[in-house]
Amino acid sequence: MRKLPLSLTINGETHELLAEPHHPLLEVLRTQLGLIGTKENCLEGECGVCTVLLDGMAVNSCLLLAAQCQGRRIVTIEGLGGPETLHPLQETFVEHGAVQCGYCIPGMILAAKAYLDQNPEPTEGEIREALSGNLCRCTGYQKILDAVLAAAGVLAPMR
Ligand code: FES
Ligand code: FES
């Protein structure tokens, strides 16, 4: 199949690449760009491990064609913070012991970021609802909720 030339803006950088028309964003991120912080699991929108931000909204990158993302602003977990510049959400996940195997965490953190950007002072119940599309097979949900609540407390005064 003929590949399409694409220009994608990811974590503030423009990437020119070729992708087949049916390639999901997830595949391009992981296999072409090496951004393996975005995880892969169900490939049908059920688990949320592939969550990235698209123009600030949390989306499942397994369901989105890469070709649909041209001209949009994509952020992956690599763009949120690094080992020396952790985002407050990354810090509170560490502080609260919210990371077990870690597989769901990039998607969980990006879903939480998108939600806190819209609702900076949520209740625990609202966070639970907002993250209901992100599954954790290690089932450490309470610590994840605690970490997001703590991050809201850090971020809200900064807005
Ligand atoms: S891999 Fe995308 S939702 Fe599960
Ligand atoms: S920490 Fe293991 S899947 Fe969530």
Domain 4-80 grouped into CATH 3.90.330.10: no
Cα 38 from chain centre: 7
The whole-model pTM stands at 0.96
Domain 88-158: CATH superfamily, name plus number: [2Fe-2S]-binding domain (1.10.150.120)
* pLDDT by position in tens, the chain (length 159): 789 999 999 999 999 999 999 999 999 999 999 999 999 999 999 999 999 999 999 999 999 999 999 999 999 999 999 888 999 999 999 999 999 999 999 999 999 999 999 999 999 999 999 999 999 999 989 999 999 999 999 898 887
- Give 4's strand partners: 19
The enclosing H or E element of 17 equals: strand 13-19
Q: Which of 125, 100, 105 is nearest to 51 (CA)?
A: 105
Q: Ligand 2 mean position to 29 CA, how many Å? A: 21
- Decide: 41 in ligand 2 pocket, CB within 6 A: no
Same fold yes or no, 4-80 and 88-158 = no
CB of residue 52 inside a 6 A radius of ligand 1: no
Domain definitions of the chain by residue range: 4-80, 88-158
φ, ψ of residue 55 in degrees (nearest 5): 50, 40
